[in-house]
Amino acid sequence: MKFKRAIASASLLLLSMFATSGAMVAPQKEQDRITQANGEGTLKLGQEQFKITAIIVNLLDDKRAELRLVSDIIVFVSGTWTQNPESPEIIDLQITGGATPGGLECVGQLTLGKDSKEVKLILKGQSRTTKRPVEVHFAGKCQRCSSAQG
């Protein structure tokens, strides 16, 4: 008899745990948004110019941005992002760092076409250490694109 009571108590406890656990589940956080595109563009650093063939942009849910510009080499830059208040297709970027300790200071925009197939990236600024101007212009087709809605 005690054995049946123990099983009944344990079953009731497990049942109540499963019944209330659904109410205790926190909503999922917004997932990181990744844009990967192939196309054509240029990276100008002072008088030097490099051809860009692809970009990978990772917009993290904590408003950090990580960009990779694929050329003969891969250039890593990082910064922050915000959703443009006037257009859901435009992400405003503020670049505050790079792979080198001096880094870059740039502002720009990532634009995803309404159908999320077209991608444009424009950045303008300068190198913190050399003070040389930096410009990035890229246009391409999405290979992997998350929604621009944030």
Residue-wise pLDDT tens digits, 70-125: 998 898 999 999 999 999 889 999 998 866 666 789 999 999 877 768 999 999 99
pLDDT, tens digit, for every residue of 30-83? Answer: 556 788 899 999 999 899 999 999 999 999 999 999 999 999 889 899 999 999
Q: Could you tell me if 79 and 97 are in contact, meaning their C-beta atoms sit under 8 angstroms apart?
A: yes
Residue 10 tokens, joined: 């344990």
Given a cut of 70, is residue 9 above it in pLDDT?
no
Residue 31 tokens, joined: 């997932």
Residues 6+ apart with CB under 8 A from 110: 35, 57, 81, 90, 91, 93, 119, 120, 121
Domains and CATH numbers, the chain: 33-145 (2.40.160)
C-alpha–C-alpha distance, residues 37 and 93, integer Å:
17
How buried is 108 (Cβ within 10 angstroms: 0-12 exposed, 13-18 middle, 19+ buried)? Answer: buried
